[in-house]
Amino acid sequence: MNTWLKIASNSDFSIYNLPFGIFSTSKNKPKIGTRIGDFVIDLEQLRKLGLLQIPHNIFNQSSLNPFIGLGKKRTNNVRLQIQKWLCEDNSPLKKHFDHVFHKIENIKMHLPVKIGDYTDFYSSIEHATNAGKIFRPDNPLFPNWKHIPIAYHGRASSIVISGTPIHRPKGQFKPADASSPVFGPTKEMDFELEIGAIIGKNSSHGESINISESEDYVFGLVLFNDWSARDIQRWETLPLGPFLGKNFASSISPWVVTMESLSPFRVESPTQDPAPLPYLKVDGKRNFDINLEVKLGNNIISETNFKQMYWSIAQQISHHTINGCNLKIGDLLASGTISGSEPNSYGSMLELSWGGKNPIKLKNGETRTYLKDGDEVIISGFCKKNEIRVGFGEVSGRILPAIS
């Protein structure tokens, strides 16, 4: 598929992608756009020019929620129409180029959706096993882990757009050599490499979504960093699970990559043993081949892939709603930390430094067990198959000192 617009061959935002997001310029309030190469296409301008037949109150919005609510048929038609115009020599996009194209360096990105609820899963068997080995060497996986997709409900209000600085959280934790807990800024600041699924369809309260239909409820995927304070988390987790060690911040990438553009990268899921209960049984290709990378400053500290996740997005949704819990447009379901089987493929500092016992070495000669103030974490991801490349861009955040 050839386009008249010059796009770098290694661009995440190829003609095959065309994700959706919320952008603003110095002259305009936030509204909906799509990205191609190093340009953002203003969808509201295309509507005003009469090129897209979409209601007037849809594109001129500060979230994708109303647009997503039109349904996949209409949202994907917008994507396919723009894709077609980008390949036509007599394209109306060429004629109105100066009115509808913005250079990426001239715009600001915002949260892509209004997130009503956020659930964080724990779906990588490699990560769950590693975390278990660090704290429970003789019993790394809890008995229920291979039977149900484990998750907790997080804090939607503290999810921030990529590039937003993160203040080191304060809380209560118990040092290993102390007889009682202390209070202060976390000493074990961590990142978690994750993928987030944006819900694109409402379900009814009391309804259980059949696994054969579960992916119909996903509009697209984003990169996600679930920042964690491990010492606070460790002290508070029992008996009710994560709280202050998790809810202070999570970072999201700005562009939502649609499920349609990810379709060429479907792969088989890992074998599940024991076989899950019938409501969680899947067939077909339900995982996605997404290459993922984590950088700490200019140091690549992790390279892994989303395709090896034990519990798929389809299974997460089926389990999430089996009790009648309803989903709403804009809800975010995060995968949980994505880790591979090799030490350089672990998706958190907890694993990379093995609970702080094995510091990782950086190019400048420094070492890290957990993140220091000033550290910047950059997560990126892309899919590639033959000439087709579809990427997510990146999600980044820099650690600032705790607010006194």
Tell me the catalytic residues.
127
Element (H, E) at 231: helix 230-236
Contact between 12 and 391 (Cβ < 8 Å): yes
Q: Which of 226, 222, 182 is nearest to 349 (CA)?
A: 226
**Angular region, 365: left φ>0, alpha ψ -120 to 50, beta rest:** left
Cβ count near 73 (within 10 Å):
7
Alpha-carbon torsion, ordered 152, 158, 160, 163, to 10 deg: -110
Contact between 49 and 313 (Cβ < 8 Å): no
The sign of the CA dihedral 350, 356, 358, 359 is positive
Residue linked to tokens 């239909």: 213
Whole-angstrom distance, CA of residue 189 vs CA of residue 156: 20
Q: Which of 134, 143, 145, 152 is nearest to 352 (CA)?
A: 134
Whole-angstrom distance, CA of residue 113 vs CA of residue 254: 9
Whole-angstrom distance, CA of residue 264 vs CA of residue 255: 19
Q: Which of 177, 173, 203, 204 is nearest to 186 (CA)?
A: 173
Whole-angstrom distance, CA of residue 79 vs CA of residue 15: 10
Contact between 294 and 278 (Cβ < 8 Å): no
H helices within 122-204, ranges in order? 125-135
DSSP 8-state symbol, 11: -
Whole-angstrom distance, CA of residue 25 vs CA of residue 28: 5
What tokens appear for 162 in the block? 């990529």
